[in-house]
Chains A and B, each alone.
Chain A
């Protein structure tokens, strides 16, 4: 996979998730960061840091991005959300517009 096709999402604890750009674009917020004109650090390095989102939640978010792509292409599987994660995930999803 070429570097320009991926983005690196960094959690509050500093864990790095490298995912397809296409998947990350599911989030309106990330899409805006990566495509906005001007030379934001995010646009240049393909790296976004989320100091408010914990590793567990960011992992779940990444899973959701891929699930969402599948869902959009017609593959209807269940996306299970553990009740413990619902609140934080909800707030992260709200922030990411996804």
Chain B
């Protein structure tokens, strides 16, 4: 653990700087978002980028045109957007009772120049790279800030952005492309065809209000000319925006001389918690060992004393939802296994455990071995010297100093000699009842539908790592209706009947499994799951994972034999069965980027590989994308050509500041089909294991003393 992980911010030297009045932070203009959800003006993009890591959602509407866009600033210069757009009155007369056209699109933007004193910020953007191409357009936009109030943008656009006021076609005609099933990049069209200039200006009147005006080069050829869904009278757009605490903006606009538009923009900066950080209660301070509880001379090898030590430690840890799995004490060291059920930060749980031990352990015990346990298996051994704890609690930069002194070692499955278990853990029965919402997105006729109901969960722990779990749902409000179109898949319908599963199954057994997680060697984990593994499949699933605690990589393998479940999601099965499995590699890159490669056989019997890339922050926020290519030809796969999507995890603790491990997870696929589909079994090993390995502990170590 010898990684320096604080950004040292150097002070201005001496008294010269003292004389300067320091401007309040935030005087600079925050980059705003356009109707299309990317950084920009009103309907036109700009050369700016959002702050690194910003996750934004923009909902906009004018006349028949509506868009909802999620954008992530992947690196300081690169951003990606996923958009769901709609055009009312597109089908006239309606087809299949549908008059609104819905379409998904994906953009990438790269900032080739960052703004400096004389140079504007310049960004190249590719819009709707792999969708149907209805939104397709490319642009290069330059933005310069004047003072701290005015931004001027000018750019050149192709495709959509070259469809009004074109000045030529420098790179030749734009080829017609049959997008076919969509899902493939149309590189042949990029920067071809007519090019048109666009421009605009933004004036930030004060902290709250800003005013925008622009000249748009988007002719809305399909929407306004071909299909007459609205009247595009002028290329000029105007608007005002109101900024609420730098996170939300609301805008009201006049668009194309004929329509009033609005937009709501939410921008979330993962490095800026809404509460400033954790507001949960402070820790029990470190106890001086001279003041720690005295156990006399007879405590050693005395079971009664050991039980009392365990119970007193547990009483302190219970405040933070930490459960003692086992404790072993000898003259010089304590070996304590804990389960963290409440704190969202792993080093914080370890820090609090260490401080609790300092209050209870006999004075001679100087070595604290804290072993976090998940699902019954020990994950790593964090070794802390009691003397370091005492010396560093109030030291400047205490977290970094502590990080350098602790050791992270592998943890063996077997308990040390003389260990006693936590009270009342095995066997143990628990249950819970909670409401749930399940959603169905992007159906062409009904793009957003939801069911509401109750979920009953139960878990029985037989022994560490061996447990039975189940969950049953009962619908209370049924909003999800059978899909507009039947599945037309050419593959076994392993996922494309999701609709039928959604509308049937009331009540439904979501899962009912017997799980055995074990650790056959200090660096090897194993899992066997038997039963109703997920909503659509049941069977047997086995997995092994090799993970050294101090390595940023891990390797795993999983094999499953599964049978498709009946649509009613009770006990029965359909005829389809398959052997599916993958070999997986995981790697944590510096700076919080995480990659995973899975190679193997998918549910429909297709062979291929999935690559997933995520950007992860130590506070648990994750944003990532994945794509799967298999031997299923694009034509057989159907719409979308191959499986891909984006996923977002947002821990509740980041928003509330309170200690909780609840996480909101969202996976967005443009379309869910049968190729490249993976089994959705619970308790996969890597996610169970990783947060207590050195890489993740290091990244989150700043909260050891919290």
- On whether the two chains bind one another, the answer is no
